Homo-oligomer: A and B are copies of this chain.
Amino acid sequence: MAATAVGTEKKNYLTALKEAIAEEMARNPHMICMGEDIGALGGAFGVTDGLIAEYGRERVYDMPISEATIVGTACGLCLNGKTVMVEMQFIDFISCGFDQIVNMTATYHYRTAGDVSMPMVIRGPAGAYGGGALYHSQMNEAWFANSPGLKIVCPSTVYDAKGLMKAALRDPNPVIFYEIKDLYRRREIEEVLPEEDYIVPLGKARVAREGDAITIVSYGQNVYHCLKAAENLESEGYQAEVIDIRSIVPLDEETIIESLKKTNRLLVVNEAPMTCGFAGEILSRMTEKAFEYLDAPPMRITRMDTPVPWVKPLELYVLPSVEKITAGALKLIKY
């Protein structure tokens, strides 16, 4: 049943993820999937649709609502030679398995001086803008970025969704994979995917739009806000370069630095809370490493330091928007 890309049909972000997981299951007989309701239901969003029919409970586990033990069991499986895909029904629930991730799994390779590796991908629907409120909207990648031993990924395109998922599932390290649920079925971003097997390597950014007036760095859904803002800027006569980092850990610093060499202006956009978020990390690294190229104070546009409120106007108020990005970029350009 492993889906074979037809090569002409446009596919959505969800399908890309689904295909990546299904193809890796077919490719790697030691790969196991675990999560809540991922069997007969196929997961809350259908990402694991069809796997149980193909592989049965030998390799696909509907788990009790026990995030800590789902991760911990996956850790034991990895210790004993398996590769595990763990689905968090929403990435928000990762907080319930937090200790098993940051203390048990992330450090295993370190603690054992390389004896034990943890080929585990913990993935789940993430991100705001959809009215999911406090507990179905989080981007909590900063917790994990501050916990050494974890790779972190967040694709914004259909191509990257598939390629990064495959790379993550082949990586010998634990990877936290943020899927932007608002993009799962977004029509405008559908793409024709290559028929052949491909990966998008972790740690390589993508230049989503070229320009010379300002470098706007982002990932996930915010990339589209940045691209729209870039159109606004274009209508004012400025070409913004938009970089989608794709990988949070490891970060492709070179691509950003190269861009700053020509634009001399940095704006980072991120829907996670500001304080200790990854936007700040990019700012810090660039002020440390590209200070000489900066002609204006680098700026970040993030969620305010608030939870994500439920009701639309409130939600949008605290999040980055095309307007806020456009205004911020203009301020920087005119600095």
* Residues A148 and B273 in contact in the complex (CB < 8 Å), given A283-B284, A307-B107: yes
Docked Cα-Cα span, A146 to B305, in Å, equals 8
For this chain, the copies found in one complex come to: 2
Counting CB contacts under 8 A, is A280 at the interface? yes
Counting CB contacts under 8 A, is A142 at the interface? yes
A103 neighbours in B (Cβ, 8 Å): 92, 95, 134-135
A107 with B95: CB separation less than 8 A: no
Contact of A276 among B107, B111, B146, B309 (CB under 8 A): B146
Of A29-37, A210-218, A294-302, which stretch is located at the interface? A294-302
Interface positions, chain A 126-146, Cβ under 8 Å from B, are 134-135, 140, 142-143, 145-146
Docked Cα-Cα span, A118 to B230, in Å, equals 43
Docked Cα-Cα span, A68 to B306, in Å, equals 23
A283 with B287: CB separation less than 8 A: yes
Docked Cα-Cα span, A288 to B266, in Å, equals 11
A300 with B277: CB separation less than 8 A: no
A275 with B145: CB separation less than 8 A: yes
A96's nearest neighbour on chain B, judged by CB, is: B99
Q: What 1/0 mask marks residues of chain A from 308 to 332 whose CB sits below 8 Å from any chain B CB?
A: 0100000000000000000000000
Docked Cα-Cα span, A82 to B133, in Å, equals 28
Contact of A134 among B111, B140, B305, B309 (CB under 8 A): B111
Can you sample 21 A-B contacts with CB below 8 Å? A95-B99, A95-B103, A98-B99, A103-B134, A107-B134, A110-B309, A111-B134, A142-B276, A143-B146, A146-B146, A146-B276, A146-B277, A275-B281, A276-B277, A280-B280, A280-B284, A283-B284, A287-B287, A288-B298, A289-B297, A292-B297
5 closest Cβ pairs, A-B complex:
A291-B297, A280-B284, A95-B99, A98-B98, A145-B276
Q: List 8 additional A-B contacts (Cβ < 8 Å) besides A95-B99, A140-B146, A142-B142.
A: A107-B134, A142-B143, A146-B146, A146-B277, A148-B273, A149-B307, A249-B275, A283-B283
